[in-house]
């Protein structure tokens, strides 16, 4: 397991790791042609109190990187640009103040919906795309694909997926 250094504690999952396989299989349900470059596990300094006892749901959040995601893979380096969604969520999790949709943060049960938020025409075309796997709290059981949350402490960042087509 490769340890990545200067971002919060991150580790690159091998493609035979059960967590990698589970995430990859789920992504391929809605994005069969995706080329996964890396799945990075985010080790939080400490879990929020009692989080493990609460009802959580695993969802996706597509975001955009201002820096080159390859720098994380190659050097373990995060940028400090406050508008870099990738490094911001890696370091601090989802924050409603950075939402482009009022105070609401959008999450999706489907990777393909999250994918439409990870694309930015203004960035270099060879940048990898970025989707996070996030655990969210207190989600009512319903059939909608989109989950909207406006509390910062109701989400935990678990994995970063770097991919391309």
Applying CB under 5 A, the residues found at the interface with Zn ion are 67, 79, 84, 87
CA distance 122 to 115: 16
Residues ≥6 apart with Cβ < 8 Å to 47:
156
The CB-of-8 to Zn ion minimum distance in angstroms stands at: 13
Q: Decide whether 7 or 149 has the Cβ nearer to Zn ion.
A: 7
Q: Decide whether 149 or 160 has the Cβ nearer to Zn ion.
A: 160
Residue 129, beta-bridge partner list: 163
Q: Decide whether 39 or 84 has the Cβ nearer to Zn ion.
A: 84
Which two three-digit tokens encode residue 7? Answer: 């971002």
The CB-of-27 to Zn ion minimum distance in angstroms stands at: 22
Q: Is the dihedral of CA 51, 103, 23, 76 positive or negative?
A: negative
For residue 52, the 8-state DSSP code is G
Residue-level length of the chain: 165
The CB-of-87 to Zn ion minimum distance in angstroms stands at: 3
Q: Decide whether 84 or 131 has the Cβ nearer to Zn ion.
A: 84
The CB-of-100 to Zn ion minimum distance in angstroms stands at: 17
């Amino acid at each position: 397991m490769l340890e990545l250094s200067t971002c919060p504690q991150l580790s690159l999952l091998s493609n035979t790791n059960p967590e990698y396989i589970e995430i990859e299989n789920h992504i391929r349900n809605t994005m069969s042609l995706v080329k996964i470059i890396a799945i990075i596990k985010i080790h939080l300094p400490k879990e929020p109190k009692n989080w493990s006892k609460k009802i959580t749901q695993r969802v996706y959040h597509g975001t955009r990187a201002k820096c080159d995601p390859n720098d994380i893979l190659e050097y373990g380096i995060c940028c400090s640009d406050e508008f870099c969604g990738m490094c911001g969520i890696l370091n601090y999790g989802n924050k409603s103040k950075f939402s482009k949709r009022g105070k609401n943060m959008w999450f999706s049960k489907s990777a393909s919906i999250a994918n439409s938020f990870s694309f930015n025409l203004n960035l270099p075309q060879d940048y990898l795309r970025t989707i996070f796997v996030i655990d969210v709290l207190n989600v009512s059981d319903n059939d909608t694909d989109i989950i909207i949350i406006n509390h910062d402490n109701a989400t935990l960042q678990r994995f970063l997926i770097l991919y391309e087509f």
